[in-house]
Amino acid sequence: MITAAEVEKRVKRLHSLMEEKKIDKLLVTAPKNTTYLSGRDTGRLLLTRDEDFLWTREIYKEIYSDLYDDKKYPLEVMLYEKDAIKNQVKKLGIKCLHVDNPSVMGFQSMEKNLGIDPLATDVIEQQRMTKTPLEIGLLRKAADIAVIGMRKAYDVVSGGVKELDALAEIEYAIRKAGSDAPPFDDGMLLSSGASSADIHARAGPGKIKKGSTVVVDLGGRVYGYYSDMTRTIAVGSVDRPARRLIEYVDELRGEAIDMLKPGVVAGDVHAFIEKDMGRRGYKFYHSSGHGVGLNIHESPSLSSDSLDVLKEDMVFTIEPGVYIPGKYGVRFEDTVLLKKNGAEILTGFSR
Amino acid sequence: MITAAEVEKRVKRLHSLMEEKKIDKLLVTAPKNTTYLSGRDTGRLLLTRDEDFLWTREIYKEIYSDLYDDKKYPLEVMLYEKDAIKNQVKKLGIKCLHVDNPSVMGFQSMEKNLGIDPLATDVIEQQRMTKTPLEIGLLRKAADIAVIGMRKAYDVVSGGVKELDALAEIEYAIRKAGSDAPPFDDGMLLSSGASSADIHARAGPGKIKKGSTVVVDLGGRVYGYYSDMTRTIAVGSVDRPARRLIEYVDELRGEAIDMLKPGVVAGDVHAFIEKDMGRRGYKFYHSSGHGVGLNIHESPSLSSDSLDVLKEDMVFTIEPGVYIPGKYGVRFEDTVLLKKNGAEILTGFSR
């Protein structure tokens, strides 16, 4: 549960960051950002040097005051009625404000409706990259649920079982373990044999064959905070090249995690993985990882040329994968927490 | 499965719409739009008067040609490499193109990277409002899965059962019925008693009490096409006001569906529901419905002041709801298909 004290801390930190970036007024509209700053996605916020406002519908006003155990809610809760934000913007004499990166057409209608000159910013997404202790606690719980799901995966994935049936059992276990959402947005990934070479393949009605490899990519969610984890399961005895590839990718995952410490540039982690794969003749088709928090994919980006600098209290994935079209795919992924001296694996589990 | 013939039909229809709207060149980047026009979300498209291009990574090239049963894929599949789109844009001498409504910051970097003057458009979302026969077939299947889930809900929702446990059983049934994703993005909604008065409430670890009402909002997905359905279940014998409210909202759902026919303005449907509720002293806190397709929420919008005109072959929801803070909420929702003479309910089921 997100407390009033936590909201206060986040809002305060955002104000310092706004000052640093010379952002005077910030309108917050993206659901994950309003959740980050208020605990719910049912509001719109306006932060200024003097005062912070939260607009919400009448029916939710009570809920906001009930939401915070110590009842000291740090934002002024106002009624979201027609033109409520427009009127406040007028009242405060605002001519220009920043807004958290809406769609172009949303931006244009905002320009027209509010009668102001908006500027897009990702300042909140930048703040969300490093996690507070409360966030880290929730991410740990989400990671524990991922591990419960993965244990179930090793139990149910076997020859003759339909992909979708195995998936249903695993998602069921994840929900029973208390996940507040199914894995990710579209459900977990589970693909076997040749279809696992398609990075985007989803589970189908087909049966898992003995001797095949199965990529299982799943996670949990606790109070909105996600976890993300992948293992590649060998069903029965797989051939030697597949077994070797599984060992190789898993080891590469471990090596990449070993190189993590504060100050490392994200693009360099990707370059390390890509280069190692290249030496063995493999091409790396996706990024090496991504931040995890209120979004399953958020900053930092561990992709080619990424200049994001890894910092203490960041939580992100490391996920090398090798895909041999027509044959199989192998991916291993952990969610890690970056600490002063290196990374802690939150989704630690192997079998 | 989306066939090459279907892709051809959709692309052809989009070209007429582009001509009508005087859109010469259209860059397609949004995942649901690329899925709509190619069957997968792993590409980027550029449609011009003379030629249509689809860029995808090397690893997916084969998959695109395998995807279409008759092997006559109507788009030129090109390799997505660094600067591939930029080079093509240069080669074609494009100075200005339309793009499908990215975020402001994505738009700005596109402006910079492509060296062109982009314009945002929702022309594809407009086309997606009216469904093809193939889409309607998939939406029917998704609706059938929703009904299977709802039958399960009436079986498992009872006094003493934890909300999250009931939810896990229902989502399991939906997946076992072949849904290619869990309901919606964050999973289905299930809330009982006072928490059901919070429209955004999610299932928690608490037990469902006898004599309470439970709002169950779920759906299935087939080849990417969603369905959406809500019922309010009375657990054991509820008090007379709750029973009456359940009957009232369910009847209002039916009356709103009865008024649907091609040519009706969406805002008028909302006004009808809002007015009827108002006569009984209830305020209507959300919209009356939304289009359903590759997105769970898409156009048309059945909200206050919506000028969207309802047309044949549109698929959308009708969902009146009444919420009494501190007591309970009651919502009934069906996904309907609009035909020449009126609406067909795709999620028809009651108990």
A117-158 tens-digit pLDDT = 889 999 999 999 999 999 999 999 999 999 999 999 999 999
Nearest beta carbon to residue A42 from set B103, B105, B200: B200
CB pairs below 8 Å between A and B: how many? 113
- Same domain assignment for residues A112 and A158: no
CA dihedral A334, A337, A339, A343 (to 10 degrees): 0
pLDDT at B62 over 90: no
Q: What is the pLDDT of residue B68?
A: 66
pLDDT at B351 over 90: no
Q: What is the pLDDT of residue B60?
A: 87
Q: What is the pLDDT of residue B186?
A: 82
- Does residue B274 contact residue B306 with C-beta atoms inside 8 Å? no
pLDDT at A185 over 80: no
- Does residue B208 contact residue B162 with C-beta atoms inside 8 Å? yes
- Same domain assignment for residues B83 and B187: no
Q: Decide: helix, strand or coil at residue B335.
A: strand
The CATH number of residue B253's host domain is 3.90.230.10
Closest CA to A214 of A286, A164, A284: A164
Q: What is the pLDDT of residue B275?
A: 98
pLDDT band of residue A69 (cuts 50, 70, 90) is low
- Same domain assignment for residues B226 and B177: yes
Position B176 in a domain: yes
Position A351 in a domain: no
- Does residue A102 contact residue A4 with C-beta atoms inside 8 Å? no
Distance of CA A88 to CAs A27, A51, A53, A97, A256, Å?
Answer: 12, 12, 10, 13, 50
- The mean pLDDT of B120-144, rounded to a whole number, is 97
Position B314 in a domain: yes
A310-339 tens-digit pLDDT = 999 999 999 999 999 889 999 999 999 999
Q: What is the pLDDT of residue B69?
A: 57
Closest CA to B347 of B331, B333, B326: B333
How far is residue B268's CA from residue B263's CA, in Å, rounded to a whole number? 11
Residue to mutate among B113, B175, B218, B304, with most A CBs inside 10 A, is B175
Closest CA to A57 of A80, A76, A37, A34: A80
Position A82 in a domain: yes
pLDDT at B322 over 80: yes
Residue A42 distance to chain B (closest CA, Å) = 8
- Same domain assignment for residues B140 and B124: no
Q: What is the pLDDT of residue B76?
A: 85
Sheet holding B52-56, edge to edge: B76-79, B52-56, B43-47, B26-28, B96-99, B117-120
Nearest beta carbon to residue A178 from set B41, B205, B285: B205
Q: With an 8 Å Cβ cutoff, are B60 and A198 in contact?
A: yes
Distance of CA A44 to CAs A1, A31, A268, B281, Å?
Answer: 20, 9, 38, 27
- Same domain assignment for residues B120 and B185: no
- Same domain assignment for residues B119 and B180: no
Instruction: Locate the chain A residue with the closest alpha carbon to B162.
Output: A176
- Same domain assignment for residues B176 and B233: yes
Position A350 in a domain: no
The CATH number of residue A62's host domain is 3.40.350.10
- The mean pLDDT of B82-103, rounded to a whole number, is 92
Q: Give B195's DSSP letter.
A: G
Average model confidence (pLDDT) across chain A = 94
Domain range for residue A92? 4-128
How far is residue A291's CA from residue A341's CA, in Å, rounded to a whole number? 19
Position B350 in a domain: no
Residue B342 is inside which H or E element, if any? strand B342-345
SS3 sequence of chain A: CCCHHHHHHHHHHHHHHHHHCCCCCEEECCHHHHHHHHCCCCEEEEECCCCEEEEECHHHHHHHHHHCCCCCCCCEEEECCCCHHHHHHHHCCCCEEEECCCEHHHHHHHHHHHCCEEEECCHHHHHHCECCHHHHHHHHHHHHHHHHHHHHHHHHCCCCCEHHHHHHHHHHHHHHCCCCCCCCCCCCEEEEHHHHHCCCCCCCCCECCCCCEEEEEECCEECCEECCEEEEEECCCCCHHHHHHHHHHHHHHHHHHHCCCCCCEHHHHHHHHHHHHHHCCCCCCCCCCEECCCCCCEEEECCCCCCCECCCCEEEEECCEEEECCCEEEECEEEEEEECCEEEECCCCCC
Average model confidence (pLDDT) across chain B = 94
Position B46 in a domain: yes
Q: What is the pLDDT of residue A68?
A: 66
B270-305 tens-digit pLDDT = 999 999 999 999 999 999 999 999 999 999 999 999
Closest CA to B264 of B174, B343, B160: B343
- Same domain assignment for residues B112 and B144: no
pLDDT at A94 over 60: yes
Q: Which of B128, B162, B191 is the last residue of a domain?
A: B128
Q: What is the pLDDT of residue A186?
A: 83
Q: Which of B86, B107, B128 is the last residue of a domain?
A: B128
The residue with greater pLDDT, A71 or A185, is A185
Position B332 in a domain: yes
How far is residue B316's CA from residue B291's CA, in Å, rounded to a whole number? 4
- Same domain assignment for residues A154 and A215: yes
Per the structure, the count of domains in chain B is 2
pLDDT at B66 over 80: no
pLDDT at A70 over 60: no
Q: What is the pLDDT of residue A62?
A: 78
Residue B323 distance to chain A (closest CA, Å) = 8
Closest CA to B214 of B194, B193, B198: B193
Q: Which of A103, A128, A153 is the last residue of a domain?
A: A128
A196-251 tens-digit pLDDT = 999 888 899 999 999 999 999 999 999 999 999 999 999 999 999 999 999 999 99
What's the farthest any 2 CA atoms get from each other in chain A? 72
pLDDT at A67 over 80: no
**Strands A43-47 vs A26-28: parallel, antiparallel or unpaired:** antiparallel
- Same domain assignment for residues A217 and A72: no
pTM: 0.95
Chain A contact set for B97 (CB, 8 A): none
Q: What is the pLDDT of residue A276?
A: 98
Residue to mutate among A32, A58, A59, A295, with most B CBs inside 10 A, is A59
Q: With an 8 Å Cβ cutoff, are A102 and B104 in contact?
A: yes
Q: What is the pLDDT of residue B291?
A: 98
- Same domain assignment for residues A123 and A159: no
Residue A339 distance to chain B (closest CA, Å) = 30
- Same domain assignment for residues A184 and A326: yes
Q: What is the pLDDT of residue B61?
A: 82
